[in-house]
Amino acid sequence: MTDSTFLPFTRPDIDAATIAAVGEVLTSGWITSGPKMQAFEAQLSALFAGRPVRAFANGTSTMEVALRMANLGAGDEVITTALTWVATANVIVAVGARPVFVDVDPVTRNISLDAVEAAITARTRAIIPVYLAGLPVDMDRLYSIARKHGLRVIEDAAQAIDSRWRGERIGAIGDLVSFSFHANKNINSVEGGCLVMNSEAEALRAERLRLQGVIRTGPDGMEVEEPGGKFNLSDVHAAVGIGQLARLESITRRRAALAECYADAVADARLAELGVGLPPRADPAGALTNWHMFQVELPVDRMLGARAATMQALRARGIGSGVHYPALHLFKFYRAQGWREGMLPHTERLGRSLLTLPLFPAMTDTDPARVVSALVAVMGELS
């Protein structure tokens, strides 16, 4: 196996025009937050139906700032899922609030809205749904619950750029909506993220919070009314984001086409008959994924070495894979807060068994069949 034949689970694609645009920024004399960042924000706002948008250094800072803008703090509870990157919970802790984990729906793999409603207490102040692999939750029901109980919704849409709910783009609707532009996302700015908000007043506060809380007036006036962080996006990163955003439509279309290739390969190989759980294609209520990831659920309880051995065997065949995500409530830090195995059975099962297979636009139409064939062979060896 050579490096050229290895198929990673994802690979960023930066075109020549974007690379040239980065070079222009580097020679412009202005490389930190400036005109490119402002242009990126304007383009993102247009994408999200004209809503106010501010760009950030990463998709974790967007979440932390959103929580601060919702005035979350000590004594408050935030309901979320444990089947997510640990940042979703860490930012809740960072603002002094308490994450309350609820189980996921076993079909969509997203947060169970039945469980959300059952977990609401007098201390609940917000809900953070996570759109795993880009598939949104039932937005109508989510916001009905939020309105009924007077809760803020902070959408962890890190993986959901260009996903839809009843034909509307995620971010064009909703409360506070956070996106990530990390290198493994559908579009990236190498590192980065953005927060979509409801008003210019919120956007101005977000600006302050992303840069130490500083308010500037005149040539030398400076004030701080509340502390912020160092979360600003550089023009270098923004130039990459602008180049990627211009290709969003073609990227989404290509990922959907590759998902269809996977569907054909899976059907031909009768993967479901081998006990492999397949990813949800769409929620009949109206959710449409951007195919950020293609995740299968392995029958790990009857496989030697479980998921780790599967990943190693696939790698030996030139196929990369990923884990998204271990059940985070079982990490040592959250166990110390009282979370235990058995409390979230669907989350725990998926956390042990989900395997992310390769999916990125530069793949060929025959690559999904190659991946599925390798997976079938590995399962035969490990069963």
**Pairing mode, strands 77-81 and 214-217:** unpaired
Residues of the chain with CATH 3.40.640.10: 16-245
Burial of residue 207 (CB within 10 Å: 0-12, 13-18, 19+) is middle
Burial of residue 107 (CB within 10 Å: 0-12, 13-18, 19+) is exposed
Q: Which CATH class is domain 16-245?
A: alpha beta
- Going by C-beta distance under 8 Å and a sequence separation of 6 or more, which residues neighbour residue 78? 67, 72, 92, 97, 98, 99, 100, 124, 125, 126, 127, 128, 154
- Tell me how many helices (H) and strands (E) the chain has: 13, 15
User: What is d(CA 16, CA 8) in angstroms, rounded to the nearest whole number?
Assistant: 22
**Pairing mode, strands 164-165 and 354-357:** unpaired
Look-up: residue for tokens 């479901």?
Answer: 272
pLDDT digits (tens, 9 = 90+) for 23-41: 999 999 999 999 999 999 9
Q: Which three-class secondary structure state does DSSP give residue 227?
A: coil
User: Which positions are catalytic?
Assistant: 185
User: What is d(CA 78, CA 146) in angstroms, rounded to the nearest whole number?
Assistant: 12
Look-up: residue for tokens 């948008």?
Answer: 53
User: What is d(CA 41, CA 15) in angstroms, rounded to the nearest whole number?
Assistant: 21
CB-side neighbour CA atoms (13 Å) of 69: 29
Residues of the chain with CATH 3.90.1150.10: 248-382
Supply the pLDDT for residue 285: 74
Supply the pLDDT for residue 286: 86
Burial of residue 263 (CB within 10 Å: 0-12, 13-18, 19+) is middle
Residues of the chain scoring pLDDT < 50: 1-2
Q: Which CATH superfamily is domain 248-382 in?
A: Aspartate Aminotransferase, domain 1 (3.90.1150.10)
**pTM of the predicted model, to two decimals?**
0.97
Strands laid side by side in the 152-156 sheet: 53-56, 193-196, 176-180, 152-156, 124-128, 77-81, 98-102
pLDDT digits (tens, 9 = 90+) for 49-101: 999 999 999 999 999 999 999 999 999 999 999 999 999 999 999 999 999 99
Supply the pLDDT for residue 329: 98
Beta bridge partners of 55: 194
